[in-house]
Chain A
Amino acid sequence: MRGVVASLIFVIGTLIPIAFLWSADQWTVMLPAGDGQQETKELCGSCHNLQKIVQSRKTPQEWERSVNDMLARGAQIFPDEAEKITKYLSASFPPGK
């Protein structure tokens, strides 16, 4: 009986939260906290998943070019938001991190 209870506690406490975590957008939850996180999640994530962001490591100049590239291709992002996103990505995903 004690074994059954322990198993239940393990399932409820461990596996279920993990299942929830991975059923959500697994790339979105990998965005670290910071100023610009929300904009990145909502504005970048409205067109594509965030895999290409969280798996990239770029210099500030490279991030600026990527964000500008999205703007030029028709992303619905205003200039001030683009600047905020660029700063956030540069701080969160620099080379070597």
Chain B
Amino acid sequence: MRALVKDYLDLGLSRRGFIKAMAAAGFTLTAAESILKNLAPVAHAETAGKEYWKEFEGNGGELLAEQLLQAGNEYLFVGNGSGLGALCDAVIDRPKLKLVLSTHEAHVVAMASGYALASGKTAFCMYSRVGAAHSTGNIYNAMKDRIPLVIAVDRADTTEDGRDGHEDLEDMLEPMKQYTKWRWIPKEVGRVPEWTAKAFKVASTMPCGPTYMMFPRDVMFESKAKTKIFMPGTFDVPMNVRPNAKTVEKTAKMLVEAKSPMFNVGPEVYQSGGQKELIELVELLGIPTFERGQLCQVFPNQHPLYMGMMRGQVRYPQNVDFFMNIGARWAEADESFIAEKKVPTIVAGTDVRHLGDAIAIEHALVGNLKESLRDLVDAVKAVATKDRLQKIAQARFDETKKFTDRLRAGREANAKKMWDNKPIEWDRVGKEIEAIADKDAIFVEEFGSQRNKCMDHVNIGYGAKTQLGRTTGECLGWGLPAAIGVKLAKPDHQVWALQGDGGMLFNQTEALWPMRRHEAPIITVVFNNRSYNETRNRMWTRGKNQREKKLDMISHLGNPDVNFAKIAEAYDIKGEVVGDPKDLKPALQRAINATRDGKPYLLDVLVAQAGQGANMNWYPKVSIAEMRSKKA
């Protein structure tokens, strides 16, 4: 009945259709009519008196600002550029719009991405067209992460564009094609609201992604028009589509009959808001659940049924006879054993770029994951009795818990063994953070292969602390500015930016500028191992010469030995270097105290390297000073 009511309210089902379907479900005509009567106020409120348009006269900047207001924007993420002048003029008269400024275009995009990821809203950003090239790394990340972003830049006047002229190329949209869902140059001022509304619609329709517009300066400053502004709710296409009911039923029967099922879950569950439903389904049948934990941790990582990242030949569960990929990208998992053993595979989600890639599937559950998981829970409950489900779930839960408990005990013992090591171990930093962080803290991380050493000790996932990042695109230079966007979206949550030193040196120290400017009380922890640890490991494993001759050609970062606390000081942010493990806890407390006083704080924690070629200080020296023939 819940499904029928929803279909009726979403206008997909007529009154007659509703009554017919209720009758088919065993309800009397009187009952159906009674429900319709009760629903009438809700159903009619949706359309009664709805305002579709409003007339407005202004230049391009004013029309854009008006449409941004109606699209629900409160914050506009911007960089500096004279092409933003008309929008800035318009914002002065519209105090509901607030500008959040960064000095680097890549950070503008990352701040907007973090805001969109944490708030679930579509974010708008604008900067100079010459900065567009700077920003592509994080637009690529946003595209890979399916982040709803509307990105705008200025453009040469319509009388001058397309000439490879001043700050212009002949085709400035083409380079953005791979990184965006939709691109446009609004050359007619009267249609600025229409194209802006379209940019929001396309960006926010799942699977989401960035859209890109270039506003010619004359359109923004001089051209005027009296035109229609789209009102809220008139350009949303939320795509909360439900899966095919027969496919749901078939999947539910397979799930109940399976002797050894397993799930692999991913970020689309978070993006559709379906975490609660996922956990209910997992616990209903006691299903071991894998997750890579990239972009976000969906499933609680301390849950007895959490198996960690799926890779290679899965050790547990054995004899898998049902596999379901729920909102994870194929590239996030190693599905080789699924293919080898011909395990019946179901895929669920809306992202057609990933559904059914790389592996032959039994069938797909195409639909919004919150809706799909809700329907699956209902269908499973309908095909088996409560007692049967409980029996199935309990046996699997106990067996899986035994396995995951043993693994966790090993990791705990491991961490304990290395507790006092110097340089400080990642495990210790993770455990110390877990002990001191707020229960609803948000971690914005940009780690590589060392990630689990820290994050496995932090209680993250639905119902616990939140982890956002690392981007699935893995283009470094995202974390700190993204944390600013997250803090803006969730100002009452403690926000941590967890970074490697390598990631920090991808332009991110400049992100301390907007962090200070906008007084974002964020705790930044730099895990400084003075190395690109991950790349060194991978290169040495697959290659030969570096490993055999023990030469670290491009991964050593210890010279110069960067002091990130001093860099923070240059931006008027307090920070400190932590080299001794016993100093870590009090330093973390000082960082928390500072943020409680409304100030950002940075900890430069000297952590251990690991893997092949660890702790080498050699690098190939190229000294320009030594090349000189005179003291010039």
Query: What chain A residues lie within 8 Å of B407 (beta carbons)?
Result: 76-78
| Interface assignment of A12: CB less than 8 Å from any CB of chain B | no
Give the nearest-CB partner of B293 in chain A: A74
B612 lies within 8 A of A56 (CB):
yes
Q: How far is the CA of A52 from the CA of B540 in the complex (A)?
A: 8
Interface stretch among A1-9, A13-21, A29-37, A65-73?
A65-73
Binding site for B on A (CB under 8 A): 43, 45-48, 51-52, 55-56, 65-66, 68-69, 71-74, 76-79, 82
Q: How far is the CA of A66 from the CA of B316 in the complex (A)?
A: 23
Most buried by B among A47, A65, A73, A77: A73
Query: What chain B residues lie within 8 Å of A68 (beta carbons)?
Result: 414, 417-418
Q: How far is the CA of A85 from the CA of B308 in the complex (A)?
A: 22
B414 lies within 8 A of A52 (CB):
no
A77 lies within 8 A of B547 (CB):
no
- Min CB distance A47 to B, Å, is 5
Known contacts A69-B610, A72-B456; A79/B409 CB under 8 A: yes
- Min CB distance B118 to A, Å, is 26
B309 lies within 8 A of A74 (CB):
yes
Give the nearest-CB partner of B417 in chain A: A68
Most buried by B among A55, A56, A65, A68: A68
Give the nearest-CB partner of A72 in chain B: B453
Q: Give the residue of B311, B315, B414, B541 whose beta carbon is less than 8 angstroms from that of A71.
A: B414
| Interface assignment of B611: CB less than 8 Å from any CB of chain A | yes
Query: What chain A residues lie within 8 Å of B150 (beta carbons)?
Result: none
Query: What chain B residues lie within 8 Å of A77 (beta carbons)?
Result: 407, 410
- Min CB distance B404 to A, Å, is 9
| Interface assignment of B629: CB less than 8 Å from any CB of chain A | no
Query: What chain B residues lie within 8 Å of A43 (beta carbons)?
Result: 315
Known contacts A78-B407, A78-B410; A72/B427 CB under 8 A: yes
| Interface assignment of B406: CB less than 8 Å from any CB of chain A | yes
Query: What chain B residues lie within 8 Å of A46 (beta carbons)?
Result: 311-315
Give the nearest-CB partner of A47 in chain B: B312
Q: How far is the CA of A65 from the CA of B413 in the complex (A)?
A: 13
Most buried by B among A43, A45, A71: A71
Give the nearest-CB partner of A49 in chain B: B541
Most buried by B among A43, A45, A69, A79: A69
A73 lies within 8 A of B450 (CB):
yes
- Min CB distance B148 to A, Å, is 31
Query: What chain B residues lie within 8 Å of A45 (beta carbons)?
Result: 312
Q: What would be 17 A-B contacts, judged by CB atoms less than 8 Å apart?
A: A46-B313, A48-B312, A51-B541, A52-B540, A52-B541, A68-B417, A69-B611, A72-B411, A72-B414, A72-B415, A72-B453, A73-B449, A77-B410, A78-B406, A78-B407, A79-B406, A79-B409
Q: Give the residue of B311, B316, B406, B450 whose beta carbon is less than 8 angstroms from that of A47.
A: B311
| Interface assignment of B452: CB less than 8 Å from any CB of chain A | yes
Known contacts A52-B612, A73-B449, A74-B308; A79/B413 CB under 8 A: yes
Q: How far is the CA of A69 from the CA of B426 in the complex (A)?
A: 10
Give the nearest-CB partner of A73 in chain B: B452
Q: Which of B605-624 contact A (CB under 8 A)?
A: 610-612
Give the nearest-CB partner of A78 in chain B: B406
**Interface size, B (range):** 20 to 34
Q: How far is the CA of A73 from the CA of B406 in the complex (A)?
A: 15
- Min CB distance B396 to A, Å, is 17
- Min CB distance B68 to A, Å, is 43
A74 lies within 8 A of B315 (CB):
no
Query: What chain B residues lie within 8 Å of A48 (beta carbons)?
Result: 312, 541
Query: What chain A residues lie within 8 Å of B313 (beta carbons)?
Result: 46
Query: What chain B residues lie within 8 Å of A69 (beta carbons)?
Result: 453, 610-611
Q: How far is the CA of A65 from the CA of B315 in the complex (A)?
A: 23
Query: What chain A residues lie within 8 Å of B547 (beta carbons)?
Result: 55
A72 lies within 8 A of B426 (CB):
yes
A76 lies within 8 A of B308 (CB):
yes
- Min CB distance B300 to A, Å, is 16
- Min CB distance B56 to A, Å, is 55
Q: How far is the CA of A77 from the CA of B406 in the complex (A)?
A: 9
Q: Give the residue of B413, B426, B452 whose beta carbon is less than 8 angstroms from that of A74.
A: B452
Q: How far is the CA of A35 from the CA of B280 in the complex (A)?
A: 44
Q: How far is the CA of A51 from the CA of B537 in the complex (A)?
A: 13
Query: What chain A residues lie within 8 Å of B308 (beta carbons)?
Result: 74, 76
- Min CB distance B405 to A, Å, is 10
Query: What chain A residues lie within 8 Å of B409 (beta carbons)?
Result: 79
Query: What chain A residues lie within 8 Å of B426 (beta carbons)?
Result: 72
Q: How far is the CA of A35 from the CA of B316 in the complex (A)?
A: 23
- Would you give the 0/1 interface string for B423-441, flagging 1 where the beta carbon is closer than 8 Å to chain A? 0001100000000000000
Known contacts A43-B315, A46-B312, A51-B541; A73/B612 CB under 8 A: no
Query: What chain A residues lie within 8 Å of B612 (beta carbons)?
Result: 52, 56
Query: What chain A residues lie within 8 Å of B453 (beta carbons)?
Result: 69, 72-73
- Min CB distance B98 to A, Å, is 42
Query: What chain A residues lie within 8 Å of B414 (beta carbons)?
Result: 68, 71-72, 79
- Min CB distance A77 to B, Å, is 7
Give the nearest-CB partner of A56 in chain B: B612
Query: What chain A residues lie within 8 Å of B311 (beta carbons)?
Result: 46-47
Query: What chain A residues lie within 8 Å of B312 (beta carbons)?
Result: 45-48
Query: What chain A residues lie within 8 Å of B415 (beta carbons)?
Result: 72
Query: What chain B residues lie within 8 Å of A73 (beta carbons)?
Result: 449-450, 452-453
Q: Give the residue of A51, A56, A76 whose beta carbon is less than 8 angstroms from that of B315.
A: A76
Query: What chain B residues lie within 8 Å of A79 (beta carbons)?
Result: 406, 409-410, 413-414
Give the nearest-CB partner of A83 in chain B: B410
